[in-house]
Structure 1
Amino acid sequence: MAGTNEAGRRAAHLAAVWCVGGVLTAVQLQVVLIALFVGVAPARGGLLALGAVLGMGALAGVASAAHTIVPRVRRPRGRWTWTVSVYVSGTAGASAAAVVNFEINHLENALPLYAAGGSCYALAAALFLPGTRFKLGSLGAAAVPTEHSVTLSDSGGTWQVEVYSVGRAEAERLSAETGTAEKVERYLVRFWRAA
């Protein structure tokens, strides 16, 4: 029963981050659109900074509620580390989703963008949950259809890719015990031109 309770708290935490991320995506889209029409550079910068401060404030509220399931939040400065990391990662993902959304429907319907933006923030937050990094990476790799090759921008070709990992079990153990597992897991990424 404890495992089910823990899974429920994690799901609720990620759902809260998804909701905040969706609203944050909507607000940031409006801030960027307004900033594009403001002619004065300092005002434009002020608008963008205001959007970032409001976004991080909302995420900090979620972080303070997550101290029981996110070990990093319990450490000194951990709440702000989590907040800034989730904000930056989520905003980067939401920005990429906005570009894709613009390419597909020219922002005629932004609702899918808000849902996708919320998902980017939730995925960033999930990376801080103990024992979920590998599962999310696997899920993400499985969800992206590929032909075992990738196209690198400005390279003029298609490449084969292999990724190896060492130290996953130790990283999960340390993350669960101490809330951090920095410099434990190592990766080797190999790529070569596809035939």
Structure 2
Amino acid sequence: MGDGGGTRWSRGVQRGAPGSRTTRLELFYDLVFVFAFLNVTSLTSSTPTPVNLFRCLLVLALLWWCWTGFAGMATLVRADRGVLPVVGFTTVAATFLLALTMPGAFVDRPGGLNGPLVFAGCYLLVRAAQLAIVGWLARSDPVERRRWLLQAALPVVASALLIAAGVVPSRIDGRPVAIAVQLGFWTLALAIEFGVGTGVG
């Protein structure tokens, strides 16, 4: 099935028609992101210190990047057709878990799974789900495929930096230095996603 530009669209992924309205499914997805944003607000008010405020701004920026990626994907394809509901629900589940692990995104709390590693894994899953659809659409265009490969590398690098931010500080003596290193890793991850990602488009 062609789209007039030579791109073949799979039956599992349908292109969004011009003037298409937001579906009920997309509104449901947005609610989960709203829950995550509200969770950041609660964390900010719980400990109103400069370090905690900066941490919450970092988390908010990553959430915003996830949401804009999902919104951008929804303008390209129909979110309620083919395999997109499966991708959407995967994104929702990962975002919900991301929101629940926010209190432990920087400090691994006793008991249960490692909070920073779970947070990084959920972030990677959300971004991978979005980029999988974009990659599927770009597979027949060599130029778009090369650009997608660069786009796909960004969340992998960013997630690796988030994992390092969860592991490395615990091995450093001195709390101020450990916090500075951790915030440095997070800031670098954001700079890569926003800086390179915006340049690549």
TM-score by length of 1: 0.28
Higher helix fraction: Structure 1 or Structure 2?
2
